[in-house]
Amino acid sequence: MQYALQRYVQLYFVLDVSRADLLGSVLSGVRAGLNANVLHKPLKVRFFGSGEDGVDHGGVQVELFANVGGKICDPEYGMFTIDSETQRAWFYQGCRDSVDRFQVVGATVGLAVYNGCTVSVSFPKMMYMMLLGETPSRPEDIEDIFPSLAAGLRSVLSDDIEVADLGLTFDYTYATFDGTVTVAMRGNPSPAVTETNKKEYVAEYIEHLSYVTIAPFFDAFKRGWNKLMPDKITKLFTPVELMALTQGQDAPDFDVGQLQRVTRYDDGYSPFHPAIEGFWQIVKSFAPKDRLKLLEFVTACPRVPIVDGISGVTFVIQRNGPDSDRLPTSLTCFGRLLLPEYSSTTKMAHMLRTAIEHSNGFGLV
């Protein structure tokens, strides 16, 4: 038995994950894998703690990365900030965390992509431009994360405004825990922005936002990413393609009919079962945000695969006994919804909405 376990560990990169400390245990495991140079081995995930353990048949990996991405970007950890307008994440310019931690995070994101999983991070397009060696310098490069700023910088470039009236100088200011920091982009005293240098001002401002002020953090992230995703592979993609490969495709209004066509049934349910017909009536009546919540409840991810879209999602509805006051549950590792045969469509709708609104589970149910 001990030999078999040793052989198992030698063949795979085994990532032990604690439900009680999801992000901490993942980063510790990936750091150990980096140090041992074993991240390229086939990945196996083992959950421990809080009762039952997750069994890795591939779906466990999907669930892990679907959950860990949001924690990586959580401002509470101090590594990234979330823009209030777009909910996209960017490096926190005043971060006090060690550069090493960003390398481990980059390796974690790369590990997911290397193993064919998407990560629930919310990075903007400029992250993937920079991973490809491109330098963001235009308002459109930052528009998907900072649309108001992009609009403001466009107005600087516009011929409809006298730039001198704006009173701008070649300064870049950002916030930290200790207050604001102002960087003189061209040295002191900072020259005024004029009609002749306004294009340079916009380009340099965006370069400071996207790289100059966070260079140690991004460089470390990229080093970690490149451990699994070297440049010769990454550069096969455009920024938009690489973003979709990493984060999945947003599907705010996916085709419910297409999901219905690829759904499978188990333990007595079928496409023509009255409970299933009622289920699809309910889902089709959902607002787009509730459909995404259902998708996340069953699969652990609110996004869809880049290649097949919603058709590539594993979605199984299993009968979980007769009418009951129990809420629907899910085996997110297997994309399986455990749905009791409720006595009415009205009751099913209530129970289903309650389940998806209050779900924050992780692992086998």
pLDDT (tens digit, 9 = 90+) per residue, 217-242?
A: 999 999 999 999 999 999 999 999 99
Same domain? For 236 and 107 the reply is: yes
The CA distances from residue 182 to 28, 36, 124, 148, in Å, are: 35, 41, 24, 20
Last residue of a domain, one of 154, 187, 210: 210
Last residue of a domain, one of 152, 183, 210: 210
DSSP 3-state assignment of 98?
coil
Same domain? For 199 and 229 the reply is: no
For residue 186, being part of any structural domain is answered with yes
Ramachandran category for residue 150: left, alpha or beta (phi over 0 → left; psi -120 to 50 → alpha): alpha
Same domain? For 264 and 236 the reply is: no
Question: In the predicted model, is pLDDT for residue 202 greater than 70?
Answer: yes
CATH code, 190: 3.30.2160.10
Ramachandran category for residue 42: left, alpha or beta (phi over 0 → left; psi -120 to 50 → alpha): beta
Structure confidence at residue 56 (pLDDT): 53
DSSP 3-state assignment of 102?
helix
pLDDT digits (tens, 9 = 90+) for 322-359: 999 999 998 876 788 999 999 999 999 999 999 998 76
Same domain? For 18 and 120 the reply is: yes
For residue 363, being part of any structural domain is answered with no
Q: Which of 84, 129, 89, 85 is nearest to 105 (CA)?
A: 89
Helices 99-114, 22-36: crossing angle, 10 deg rounding: 90
More confident of the two residues 119 and 30: 30
pLDDT digits (tens, 9 = 90+) for 100-151: 999 999 999 999 999 988 888 889 999 999 999 999 999 999 999 999 999 9
For residue 315, being part of any structural domain is answered with yes
Structure confidence at residue 364 (pLDDT): 39
For residue 143, being part of any structural domain is answered with yes
Q: Which of 23, 27, 220, 218 is nearest to 128 (CA)?
A: 218
For residue 181, being part of any structural domain is answered with yes
Taking the C-alpha atoms of residue 223 and residue 230, their distance in angstroms, rounded to an integer, is 9
DSSP 3-state assignment of 60?
helix
Pair 117, 228: CB distance under 8 Å: no
Q: Where are the alpha helices (DSSP H) in the chain?
A: 2-11, 22-36, 59-73, 99-114, 125-131, 139-142, 147-157, 198-210, 215-228, 231-234, 239-247, 256-262, 274-285, 288-299, 345-357
Laid out side by side, the sheet with 329-331 consists of 264-266, 316-319, 336-339, 329-331
For residue 228, being part of any structural domain is answered with yes
For residue 362, being part of any structural domain is answered with no
Q: How many CA atoms lie within 13 A of 191 on its CB side?
A: 10
For residue 344, being part of any structural domain is answered with yes
Q: Which of 333, 337, 365 is nearest to 55 (CA)?
A: 333
Whether the upstream peptide bond of residue 189 has omega within 30° of 0, thus cis, is yes
Same domain? For 22 and 117 the reply is: yes
Same domain? For 264 and 351 the reply is: yes
Same domain? For 266 and 327 the reply is: yes
Same domain? For 126 and 26 the reply is: yes
Pair 316, 45: CB distance under 8 Å: no
Same domain? For 203 and 219 the reply is: no
Pair 145, 182: CB distance under 8 Å: no
Model confidence, pTM:
0.78
Specify the number of domains making up the chain. 3
Helices 147-157, 198-210: crossing angle, 10 deg rounding: 160
What percent helix, strand, coil does the chain show, rounded to 5? 50, 15, 40
Last residue of a domain, one of 247, 268, 298: 247
CATH code, 287: 3.30.2410.10
Which residues constitute the domain of residue 109? 2-132+215-247
Catalytic residues: 333
Query: What are residue 335's phi and psi, to 5 degrees?
Result: 60, 45
Same domain? For 105 and 226 the reply is: yes
Structure confidence at residue 148 (pLDDT): 96
Same domain? For 155 and 182 the reply is: yes
Same domain? For 236 and 333 the reply is: no
